[in-house]
């Protein structure tokens, strides 16, 4: 069972310089920094999903992409 981080508030693409609404959550893990169950989340719009997946995949950090609606949410303060 993996344990993804949660997302809060406005979901905006994580790509540098992009302010688009995110449509995907990219789940990743850096085994040198994170326990195996941990899932960091990057948010991506349709245009940047592939770019960010490739970036993470090249480092063997990439796990999977899920629609933002399926990400664990916490209420904004
Ligand atoms: Zn984007």
> Per residue in 29-65, pLDDT tens?
999 999 999 999 999 999 999 999 999 999 999 999 9
- Å from CA of 15 to ligand 1 middle: 5
Confidence label for 77 from pLDDT (cuts 50, 70 and 90):
low
Look at the alpha carbons of 41, 31, 60, 16 in this order and tell me if their dihedral is positive or negative. positive
- Å from CA of 19 to ligand 1 middle: 6
pLDDT at 74: 77
Burial of 66 (0-12, 13-18, 19+ CB in 10 A): middle
- Å from CA of 49 to ligand 1 middle: 7
Greater model confidence, 16 or 3: 16
Q: Alpha-carbon dihedral of residues 20, 22, 24, 27, nearest 10 degrees?
A: 110
pLDDT at 5: 86
Confidence label for 75 from pLDDT (cuts 50, 70 and 90):
low
């Amino acid at each position: 069972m993996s344990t993804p981080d949660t997302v809060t508030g406005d979901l905006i693409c994580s790509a540098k310089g992009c302010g688009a609404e995110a449509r995907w959550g990219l789940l990743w893990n850096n085994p040198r920094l994170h326990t195996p169950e941990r899932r960091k989340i990057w948010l991506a719009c349709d245009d940047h999903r592939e770019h960010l997946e490739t970036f993470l995949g090249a480092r063997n950090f990439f796990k999977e992409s899920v629609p933002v609606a399926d990400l664990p949410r916490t209420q904004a303060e």
